[in-house]
Chain A
Amino acid sequence: MATTEKMTLNMGPQHPSTHGVLRLVLELDGEVITKVTPDIGYLHRGVEKLSEHRTYHQVLPLTDRLDYLAPMSNNLGYILTVEKLLGIKVPERAETIRIIMAELTRLQSHLVWLACHALDIGAMTVFIYAFREREVVMETYELISGARMTSNFFRAGGLSMDVPPEFEKKVRDFVDSMPGYLDQYEGLLTTNPIWLKRTIGNGVISAEDAIDIGLTGPALRGSGVDWDLRRDNSYSGYDKYKFEIPVGENCDTFDRYKVRLVEMREACKIIQQALDNLKPGPVLADDPQVCYPKKDDVYNSIEGLIHHFKIASEGYPVPEGEVYQGVEAPKGELGFYIVSDGSSRPYRLRIRPPSFVNLQALEKMSTGSMIADLVAVIGTLDIVLGEIDR
C-alpha cells in the first residue's frame, strides 16, 4: 500500500503570484493545504518610526510609498487626519479635485488587481487590456503632479497647486470610455467557464467570520456586509455624490470580483458628478500658518521667501490631541491615528493598513483548498506588501 506523508513547502518570498515579497510556509497533504503561515516584514522600512522624526509636511511623501498602487488614497487619509487635528477647512475646488483623484486611484488600483488576479489564474489577455487603461490614470497623475506613482500632491489645507486646463477633458474622456472597457473585461471573464470554475466557491468566508477577522473594503462587501466609509462616515464631501455600494451574496472570489467591477463603474459616476461640480476657485485654504505661500510670492518678494522657508524648515505647530481618521481606500479601511504633543512633528503616527489585516484572513480562506486555489485567494484579497510591511 502506498504511504503518504505531509510536506512543508516554501512559497515565496520571490513568487510571481504573491504580489510582492510575501513568503508563505505551506503544510501540504498531497496538493491540499492543511496550514498556511504567512511570513511578512521583508519590506519593513519603519515608516511609523521615521514619521516621529519629520515634520507633518515631510511625512506626506512617505505615505505615497505605503500602498504604491493607490498613492493618492494614502495621501488623502493622512492629510485628512492632519486637517482634523488642525481643524482647518478646505476650499470646495480642492475637495472636488481630491475626490476625482481618489476615485481615479480606486480605478487604477482595481485595474491592477483585475490584471494580476486574472493573470494569476491564467487569463493573460485581461492583463494587457487593464494596463492599457491604467496608463491613462498614470498619465493624469503625471499631468497634475509630475510623478506617475509617488504623487505627493495633496497638502494640509488643499492641494499643492491647481490642475492644468487639459485635466478636465482628459479625465472626462477617460471616465466616459471606461464603462466600455469594463464591458470588454467582463466579456473576457464574467461568463468564461474557466474563470467561473476557478472563482465560484473559492475562498469562502462568512460575514460573521469576515468581521471577526477584521476584513474591510471590497473583501468584506463580497461577503454581504453593506458598509462603506464613503457613505456611512462621509469625509472630504463624499456625501454630496450619489453612488451605489455593491454587495455580494455568496462570499466567494467570484462575488468579490463582481463587487470590485461594480465599484469601478460607480467610481466613474462619482468622477463624472465631481467634474460637473468643478468650479474655479482657490485650491488652498487661507491659513498662512499652515499653507505654503503662492510660488509667485516666493520668487518675487522677500516676505514670501521667508514664509516659505519657515514652513519648509520648521513646519507648523499642530494642536495637542489625538485623532483617528479612516478612509475607504481601494483595499479597505485605511486609518491614520496621530498623537500630537503640540509640536511640529507627530508624537506618534500609526497607520492602520487594510492589506495587513486582510491578509490575516488568508489562512481561514485557503485551508483545505488546493495550492492553485491559494493563488486565487491571494489575488482576491488584493494585498500590497508595501502597505503590509510599512
Chain B
Amino acid sequence: MAENNRAVVKLKENFAASIIDVAEFRGEVTVTVKKDEILQVLSCLKQVCQYNLLTDVTAVDYLGKKDERYMMVYHLYSIPNKDRIRIKAAVSEADCRIQSATQVWLTANWLEREVYDLFGITFENHPNLCRILMTPEWEGYPLRKDYPLQGPDREPYKGRLS
C-alpha cells in the first residue's frame, strides 16, 4: 500500500504539513506536495531515500478541470533500490513559476527548459531558461490546452471535403 512505501513514510516524517495527497494506481505511488517545498522534498528524496536518478520532469495542463491549472510531475528512480516514485506539485496560472530542480540534479536543466518552452512555466534559479525545441522568437506555448493543434494562424482542419 502507498502508506507503507518507504519514501512516503520518510516524507510524512519530515514534510507532514506540505503533503497534499498520497495515491496509488496500478502499483505506482504518487505524492502531491505544495510547490513551495518542492525543492526540499526532492533533495530529501535524493539524499535520504537514495532516489538518485531524475528520470523525467514534465507538466500537465488541467485547463478548466482543476483550480490550479498546471501540475508539475517529477519521476524519480532509485538505482540502488530499483523503485520509482512520482512527485507532483500544482502551479497556478496567476503565479506560474516553481523552483528549479537543477540544484539537485543536472538532468533537470533541459527537461525544465522543455517544460518552459511548451507550457510556459517559469523555473526560478534555472541557469539557462530559454526555449529548446521551438525557435527563440516563437510566441505561445504549444502544449497548453488552449493552444490550437494546427497552430495559431491557421484555420482548423475540418476533415477531407471530397
A residues apposed to B, CB below 8 Å = 40-41, 44, 46, 48-50, 53, 84-85, 87, 211-214, 216, 225, 227, 232-233, 321-324, 326, 333, 335, 337, 339, 341, 347-348, 350, 352, 356-357, 359-360, 389-390
State the CA gap A216–B77 with chains docked (Å): 11
* A49-B143, A357-B110, A360-B110 known; A322+B30 contact, CB < 8 A: yes
State the CA gap A31–B49 with chains docked (Å): 44
Q: Which of B2-10, B92-100, B130-138 sits within the interface?
A: B130-138
Taking a contact as CB atoms under 8 Å apart, the answer to whether A360 and B26 are in contact is no
Interface bracket on B = 35 or more
What is the 8 Å Cβ interface bit string for chain B, positions 61-89, against chain A (1 contact, 0 not)? 10001000000010101010010101000
* A212-B106, A214-B53 known; A233+B82 contact, CB < 8 A: yes
Q: Is B109 an interface residue (CB 8 A)?
A: yes
Pick the 6 closest A-B CB pairs, nearest first: A214-B107, A41-B133, A352-B56, A232-B82, A350-B58, A321-B25
25 contacts between A and B (CB under 8 A): A41-B132, A49-B143, A212-B105, A212-B107, A214-B54, A214-B107, A227-B82, A321-B25, A323-B28, A324-B56, A324-B75, A326-B55, A337-B56, A337-B73, A339-B60, A341-B65, A350-B56, A352-B58, A356-B110, A357-B110, A359-B110, A360-B107, A360-B109, A360-B110, A389-B133
The residue of chain B having its C-beta at the shortest distance from the C-beta of A232 within the complex is B82
**Nearest CB in chain A: distance from B70 CB, A:** 11
Q: Is B142 an interface residue (CB 8 A)?
A: yes
Inter-chain contacts of A48 with B (CB < 8 A): 118, 143
Which of B60, B75, B107 meets A335, CB within 8 Å? B75
**Nearest CB in chain A: distance from B42 CB, A:** 13
State the CA gap A359–B132 with chains docked (Å): 13
Taking a contact as CB atoms under 8 Å apart, the answer to whether A333 and B26 are in contact is no
State the CA gap A125–B10 with chains docked (Å): 56
State the CA gap A41–B134 with chains docked (Å): 6
Which of A87, A335, A359 meets B55, CB within 8 Å? A335
**Nearest CB in chain B: distance from A290 CB, A:** 16
Q: Is B20 an interface residue (CB 8 A)?
A: no
Taking a contact as CB atoms under 8 Å apart, the answer to whether A40 and B26 are in contact is no
Inter-chain contacts of A356 with B (CB < 8 A): 110, 114
Inter-chain contacts of B134 with A (CB < 8 A): 41, 44
Instruction: Name B's interface SS.
Output: mixed
Q: Is B52 an interface residue (CB 8 A)?
A: yes
State the CA gap A232–B77 with chains docked (Å): 12
**Nearest CB in chain A: distance from B108 CB, A:** 9
Taking a contact as CB atoms under 8 Å apart, the answer to whether B79 and A211 are in contact is yes
Taking a contact as CB atoms under 8 Å apart, the answer to whether A41 and B135 are in contact is yes
**Nearest CB in chain A: distance from B103 CB, A:** 11
Q: Is B22 an interface residue (CB 8 A)?
A: no
B residues apposed to A, CB below 8 Å = 25-26, 28, 30, 52-56, 58, 60-61, 65, 73, 75, 77, 79, 82, 84, 86, 105-107, 109-111, 114, 118, 131-135, 142-143, 147, 149
State the CA gap A243–B69 with chains docked (Å): 46
Taking a contact as CB atoms under 8 Å apart, the answer to whether B52 and A211 are in contact is yes
Excluding A49-B143, A212-B107, A352-B55, 11 further A-B contacts by CB distance (< 8 Å) are A48-B118, A213-B105, A214-B55, A214-B107, A227-B82, A323-B26, A326-B77, A350-B73, A360-B106, A360-B109, A389-B133
* A44-B134, A212-B105, A348-B60 known; A322+B52 contact, CB < 8 A: no
The residue of chain B having its C-beta at the shortest distance from the C-beta of A360 within the complex is B110
State the CA gap A322–B74 with chains docked (Å): 13
Which of B26, B135, B143 has the most C-beta atoms of chain A within 10 angstroms of its own C-beta?
B26
Taking a contact as CB atoms under 8 Å apart, the answer to whether B56 and A335 are in contact is yes
Inter-chain contacts of A359 with B (CB < 8 A): 110
* A50-B149, A321-B25, A337-B56 known; A348+B106 contact, CB < 8 A: no
State the CA gap A216–B131 with chains docked (Å): 24
Inter-chain contacts of B118 with A (CB < 8 A): 48
Inter-chain contacts of B147 with A (CB < 8 A): 49
State the CA gap A85–B27 with chains docked (Å): 11
Inter-chain contacts of A333 with B (CB < 8 A): 55
Taking a contact as CB atoms under 8 Å apart, the answer to whether B75 and A337 are in contact is yes
State the CA gap A389–B79 with chains docked (Å): 27
Taking a contact as CB atoms under 8 Å apart, the answer to whether A40 and B75 are in contact is no
**Nearest CB in chain B: distance from A87 CB, A:** 7
State the CA gap A225–B56 with chains docked (Å): 19
The residue of chain A having its C-beta at the shortest distance from the C-beta of B60 within the complex is A348
Taking a contact as CB atoms under 8 Å apart, the answer to whether B79 and A225 are in contact is yes
Taking a contact as CB atoms under 8 Å apart, the answer to whether B26 and A321 are in contact is yes
Inter-chain contacts of A321 with B (CB < 8 A): 25-26
The residue of chain A having its C-beta at the shortest distance from the C-beta of B135 within the complex is A41
State the CA gap A14–B117 with chains docked (Å): 24
**Nearest CB in chain B: distance from A219 CB, A:** 13
